Every structure is written in C-alpha cells, then in structure tokens.
Structure 1
Amino acid sequence: MKSWGCALLLSLAVAPSVAMSAESSTPAAHKVSVYGHRGASALLPEHTLAAYAQAIADGADYIEPDLVMTRDGVMVARHENEISGTTDVASHPEFASRRTSKVIDGQKVDGWFTEDFTLAELKTLYARERLPELRSTAYDGQFRIASLDEILAFLVQQAGRANRGIGLVPEIKHPTYFQSIGLPMEDKLLAALRGNAYTNVGPVTIQSFETANLRYLHGKIGRGSNIRLLQLLWKGDTQPADIAKAGGKLTYAQMMTPAGLKDIASYADSIGPELRSIIPLDAKGALGTPTTLVQDAHAVGLMVIPYTFRPENHFQASNLRKGADNARNAEGSVAEMRAYLATGIDAFFTDDPALGRQAVDGMGAAGNAAN
C-alpha cells in the first residue's frame, strides 16, 4: 500500500449555492436510509444513469456506483472489472482479441477487463441485464457505461430536481489488484469527490471489502469530514483480498466478533454485512433467530448497513416466497426488509428502492440522505 502514502494536493473550490443545498437537506434526526444498490438494478441494467435516475425517483437516499479503472486511468461504474456479463463486449469483433484470463483476488477469471480498454473504447459498448433469467432484458442495448465524472454531474442535477439530499456510496472494487497494476483509485476518488461542489460537502460514504485502503482513507480524510467509511463484510472464513494476499489470517468471521468490530471502529464508521449474518436462515430456508451483530456493532459506535434485498423469490427466505422461484414478489421483499428493520439496522441496500421506501415509511415519498 506504499503508493497510497503520496501527498494529496487538492484545490477545493465549492460553489456556495450547491454547497448550501447539500448541507441544508441533511436531516437532524436519524432515519433508516435506503441505498439504491447499483441504482434500481431490479428494473434497469445496473450501474447506468437510467438505473440511478430510477432509484432516485423511487425514493433512494443514496445511490451506489461500484468503481473500476480503465486503461487510461478513468473510474467507471461496473460491479467488477470483467464486463462480459453486463455489456455487449462479446459481440464486438474489434475487441475479440482483448479476451483473456487473469487472476483477480486469487480467482482465475476469463473475459474482457476494463483495465484493457480506454474510456473511449468502453463508451462504444452498451449495458445489458446481468440476470436475464430473472429480470427484463427490454433495456439491453440502450445505455452506455457511466464514468464517475458523469455520475457526479448527474448527482448534482438530480439533487436539484428532487430538492433533497441524495447521498453517494461508491465502492472501490478490487483495490489491491488495481494498485498492483499501477491503477490505484483511492487518491483519485478523493480528489474527484472534493473537487465537486456537491460531494465536497454532501453525504458520501466510501465502501470496500478490503481493509488496508479504508485505513489509508481514514488517515487522509481526517476529522469532521462529510465522507464516511463503510467496511463491507462477506461470509464466514473467507478473507479480505488484501489480507489474503499478504498471508494474513484474519477472516470476515473474526471481523464480526466484538473484538473485530472494535478494531473496525478505529477506522470506519459502519459495517456492511451480508443479510444472513444478521438473520440466518434455518434448516428450511426460513428466517431464523437474529444474531447479536447489530447490537455488538452499535456497542462500539458502528452503524449497520446490510446488503442486498432483492424482489425475486429466488433471493428471499423460504417463508416469504410466493409463486415460482424466478417470480417477482414485492410483498415478500418488503416483509423481509421489515424483519431486518426490527433488528435495529441503520440503513440497507436494495435492488428495488421503491420497495425499500415502502418498507421504511409505507409510502413512495423519499426522505433525505443521512450525513
């Protein structure tokens, strides 16, 4: 992580009118926030401006762009750097020779990778639905890949139209891998956020499944910042990629113990556990007895923001399902969210923010992004 130790020299020019709008829209009282997971990704191809716009229209308090890098050092919104599952790259003969195999976070992956394309080349591709067996493909081939700069400009526009605070919750994907190939994102992301009049003062939370980059960002951000940090957590005995690469022994299970949570609280503001870490499923696949994770995290001052609620039966607990495995089940999704709300969570990620809004306050009107 040595390259992350370089000095950060930023020129901060904030437009007062936008800054005041972002600050004044922040509520004083705590309210559970709805995070649009990759936008309204249950309805439109994920990580497109259209999906983010739908999420905001449906009441999301935050929108989430996952960030990866291009060959020319531009951050773009994709859930992973291998893009064959979410774009039409395989149908472009001019890029056939770019197909390759790489080892990403210890796993061999075959396909086309963002770091092998310039932004201009990626802009020739169209987004497509990741889960065609579950979700509509009607919007395939209509939307382009969005860069972070485009998303920030879009966010300013949308916040003005909605007349409310809309938060940004970017995830830095594969940070150790991208640093290893000379494309680190941390300083570039901070510069982009601080260089934007809205995100320089508005609600922002940076998330990662790794630990070293969040510790680095904690040191760079300092006290009193509008930027918060979210430590994402995966299942059981799996490890953060940076820990595994360094030969460490720390697991996500250990990070979710009281001692592990106390350590996370030294550099992050919140944790993002997988849903079943809070309410496991029983032997029949139904919602079981909640763990103490929420209480343990709150005891050391951490907010709890689990992921991801989805509206299809396929992803829901067995006691909430209605109809076929691939059927949309809005009622079951809302019921599942409310079961988790009862555990005291502070916010949550959902592919369908309209249902998240319904679960939180029973109507379609949006609240404000918590800062």
Structure 2
Amino acid sequence: MALSRCQSWPGHQSPAKLNIQVGDRPYYLLDDMDEGPLKQKLQSCSEGPFKPSDFVFSHRGAALQFPEHTLEGLVAARRQGAGVIECDVAFTKDKQLVCRHAQCDLHTTTNILNQTDLASKCTTPFTPASEGKPASAKCCTSDITLAEFKTLCGKMDGFNPNATTVEEYMDGTPYFRTDLYSTCGTLMTHNEYIDKVDSWGLQFTPELKTPEVAMPFDGYTQEQYAQDMINAYKSRNIDPKRVWPQSFLPADIYYWIKNEPAFGKQAVFLDERVDTPEGYANATASIPDLAARGVKVLAPAFFALTKLDDAGKIVPSEYALAAKKAGMEIVAWSFERSGWLKNGGEYYYQYVSKAIHKDGDMYTVLDVLAQQVGIKGIFSDWPATATYYANCFGLGK
C-alpha cells in the first residue's frame, strides 16, 4: 500500500512503549571519526537503549530521506527519537494554516506542477530553461485553498534548473538525499500536526513563515496570522511549556511576548543576521538589547556558534559567548543538511571549515555545541544522529 495512506502503515500507530531506533547512520559517522576520547565515549553507547530527547528538534520531519513536512517524515522523526517536532506554518488562499517550509515552495516540494488544474493557479507558471536562463516556477500556498492543498503529494525538495519539461524540473533531488520514500508524501495542516504530535506526547515547534505576499493579504494581517498560530494550541488546551514558537521576524517574537506571554517566554528568534560578517557583528552586539526586550531563546545557523582558535581548535564563538552571558537559551540549526563534509562542509561549517575533513567530524562539532556552547537543542534533518549523541551524554528529557 502506498505510503501516502499512512493511516494504514504500522509506523503510524501509537504503541504503549515506542522502540526508538537510530539506524545505521550514527554508527557510520562513529566509524569515520578520528580516534580519541569522544569517539570512545560515543562507541560505549552503541547498544543503547535509546529514548526520545527534547535536545533533538526534528527539522521539517526527517528531510534527509523523507519529503519534508509530511506525515511520513514526522513518523520517521518520532521513531528516531526527536522530542520536539517542527511544523513550518504558512497560510492558504482561504487563510487556513498548513505545514510548509516556505509559503511559495509548492513547485519544489509537491507535485503541483503535474496537477494541471492546480498548476494553472500558480503565481508564476512553469517556464522551461532557454537561452541561458534557468527553468522557473512559483507556486504558493496562498494560490490555492486548503481543500486543494490537501490533494497534493509531497516530494523531496529540489528542482532541475536546466529542465525543459515539468518532469525534468521536478527531478532535482540533491545528491545526498533519496527519492526512495518519495512516493506520495501526505501533506499536513497545522491542526493535523498538533493533533498528531499531541497524541505522541511530544513537544511542538511551529515556525511562522515570513509571508511572500504583501500583507495584509485579502484583509489578513501579520498580527492575526501570528495569533491564529497560537490560538490553535490554546483551543486544544496545549500546555505552553510544550510549545516553542519560532520566527525570523522580530516583530512576531515581540507580538507573542506582549500578547501571549505564556507562549512568548519560549518564543525562538531565528537569527539570520549572522550570514554576513557585518551582520554577525551587529547581531552579536544586539544580544543584550534582545534580552532586555524579553527574548529568551536565540536560534542561529550553527556555524555562528563556533570558530577556530589560534591553534586551529573548534571553540565557542563571540556570538555564543554573548548569548550565554545574556542568559539566553540557544537552539541551533540545522544538522544533516550539508551532504559530504570532505570539502569543509560549506555553509553550516564555514567558520571551522579548515578543521572539517570528513563526515565523522559532524560529531566533533556537535560535541562543542553541546558541551562548550551549551545549546538547549539542535534541529536535525535526520534526528537519529542527534538522538544517539543526546542519549550517550544524557541530554534533554
């Protein structure tokens, strides 16, 4: 039976005692590590047992191998021990909340371009590559209704910029991922996500996605959008301590702190200012002001939390030290998004790239983040990798 009918899949069921499984990947990474105390410690934990940990934030489900923000991906993340499950929240044309990484990513994460009746509703229709210009399309949740959204299938995020047909365009899965489980991922509404995660007894981290349409959208304001996301938890009597609302927009964080303080105290400011040297410096300098305004949780890309010292050793960065000095909690993103690390790891390892030579170095970086930076948790595209580490060191609960 197709995976899109996850209701009939045994992995969807909720046994009284879930057997957490980390699979082969952590052991592959361990074998690839340099010899030393960290490797020995991690090897000593090889037989578990493993349990869920709220140190482990599921990033888009289990997006390394499953289509992101699908029920199948969430089921895999739960099985791998993620204690906190993410739903990136966007809105449809009829102002209903759904799980998507971006408001306008349907053309790369679903089969919308193959659904001719819905493809015609996309903001920008498919245009083939021609005369040196890449293929393009733009399909947004706000282009379609909730009912139409629910007819789509999730696929692995990716596209082929050299495509001359829709089929070629959709065939762009990155080399380090797989289409093996991309048969027809079951898309989820925000409400469905809440009900499922609640039934598992896990924690929530919904991210209010920055709109890619002008706001207000048909009278729908940013403030109402932010409030609607929180209202979904309040209407179900979800304990705010189980919810970690996120946003890249400071205004959203401040809104929750002021208007929904029980949720706002755990609001996670996703800090993308660190992407440039000037932005990194300004972000570091602004941390005391953020703390003074009530922001208690910072979440930068994890490259911003480490650097190399004069001896070439990986150590906490100035940003990390400033955040801890201000009493901030830190949640880092996103583990397992880099593919092979043999060339330095690129974006997520850019400040320590000279010390990154192979995949096993992932655990070296995670160890610095956990033991020296003192992060509360880390988002991962393959939660099992972080679950193994968290269980070995007794992190989370």
Q: Deviations over 1:167-189 (max 9, x none)?
A: 11111111585633243321101
Q: Which runs of 5+ in 1 are unaligned?
A: 1-30, 103-108, 160-165, 239-249, 323-328
Alignment of 1:80 with 2:128, yes or no, is no
Instruction: State which of 290, 303, 306 in structure 2 corresponds to 1:276.
Output: 303
1:196–1:281 distance in 2 versus 1, CA, 3 Å: farther
Q: Deviations over 1:149-178 (max 9, x none)?
A: 10011012222xxxxxx2111111115856
Q: Is contact 2:314–2:365 with CA below 8 Å preserved after alignment?
A: no
Shift of 1:235: 4.2
Q: Distance in 1 between matches of 2:301 and 2:308?
A: 12
What does residue range 129-140 of structure 1 map to in structure 2 within 5 Å?
129-131=156-158, 132=173, 133-140=175-182
Aligned length: 302
What does residue range 283-294 of structure 1 map to in structure 2 within 5 Å?
288-294=314-320
Partner of 1:94: 117
Instruction: State which of 263, 277, 284 in structure 2 corresponds to 1:256.
Output: 284
Partner of 1:180: 216
Q: Distance in 1 between matches of 2:303 and 2:185?
A: 33
Q: Is contact 1:204–1:226 with CA below 8 Å preserved after alignment?
A: no
Instruction: State which of 260, 268, 281 in structure 2 corresponds to 1:221.
Output: 260
Q: Distance in 1 between matches of 2:280 and 2:232?
A: 30
Partner of 2:246: 207
Q: Which SS does the other structure have where 1:66 is aligned?
A: strand
Answer with 173-182 or 336-345: which moved more.
Answer: 173-182
Percent of pairs with identical residues: 24
Instruction: State which of 380, 386, 390 in structure 2 corresponds to 1:356.
Output: 386
Q: Distance in 2 between matches of 1:281 and 1:44?
A: 34
Q: Deviations over 1:215-263 (max 9, x none)?
A: 11110113x558611111114476xxxxxxxxxxx95642322xx1122
Q: Which SS does the other structure have where 1:228 is aligned?
A: coil
Partner of 2:85: 63
Q: Distance in 1 between matches of 2:234 and 2:283?
A: 30
Q: Is contact 1:69–1:115 with CA below 8 Å preserved after alignment?
A: yes
Alignment of 1:189 with 2:229, yes or no, is yes
Q: Is contact 2:304–2:320 with CA below 8 Å preserved after alignment?
A: no
Q: Is contact 2:244–2:263 with CA below 8 Å preserved after alignment?
A: no
Partner of 1:167: 203
Q: Distance in 2 between matches of 1:138 and 1:301?
A: 44
Q: Distance in 2 between matches of 1:272 and 1:136?
A: 28
Q: Is contact 1:203–1:226 with CA below 8 Å preserved after alignment?
A: no
Shift of 1:278: 1.1
Q: CA RMSD, aligned part only?
A: 3.0
Q: Which SS does the other structure have where 1:169 is aligned?
A: strand
Partner of 2:199: 157
Q: Is contact 1:62–1:167 with CA below 8 Å preserved after alignment?
A: yes
Partner AA of 1:228 in structure 2: Q
Alignment of 1:347 with 2:384, yes or no, is no
1:251–1:110 distance in 2 versus 1, CA, 3 Å: farther
1:227–1:178 distance in 2 versus 1, CA, 3 Å: farther
Q: Distance in 1 between matches of 2:212 and 2:114?
A: 30
Q: Which SS does the other structure have where 1:171 is aligned?
A: strand
Partner of 1:143: 185
Q: Distance in 2 between matches of 1:280 and 1:71?
A: 44
Q: Which SS does the other structure have where 2:102 is aligned?
A: coil
Shift of 1:305: 1.0
Q: Distance in 2 between matches of 1:70 and 1:76?
A: 7
Q: Distance in 1 between matches of 2:212 and 2:115?
A: 30
Q: Deviations over 1:14-39 (max 9, x none)?
A: xxxxxxxxxxxxxxxxx971111111
Partner of 2:268: 230
Q: Report the structure number with the largest CA radius of gyration.
A: 2
Shift of 1:55: 1.2
Q: Distance in 1 between matches of 2:153 and 2:395?
A: 30
Q: Distance in 1 between matches of 2:148 and 2:80?
A: 32
Q: Distance in 2 between matches of 1:281 and 1:116?
A: 46
Shift of 1:72: 0.9
Q: Distance in 2 between matches of 1:112 and 1:209?
A: 22
Q: Which SS does the other structure have where 2:228 is aligned?
A: helix
Partner of 1:333: 362
1:307–1:178 distance in 2 versus 1, CA, 3 Å: farther
TM-score normalised to structure 2 length: 0.69
Q: Is contact 2:253–2:264 with CA below 8 Å preserved after alignment?
A: no
Shift of 1:351: 1.0
Q: Distance in 1 between matches of 2:280 and 2:207?
A: 18
1:32–1:78 distance in 2 versus 1, CA, 3 Å: closer
Shift of 1:344: 1.8
1:215–1:175 distance in 2 versus 1, CA, 3 Å: farther
Q: Is contact 1:203–1:227 with CA below 8 Å preserved after alignment?
A: no
TM-score normalised to structure 1 length: 0.73
Q: Which runs of 5+ in 2 are unaligned?
A: 1-52, 126-135, 159-172
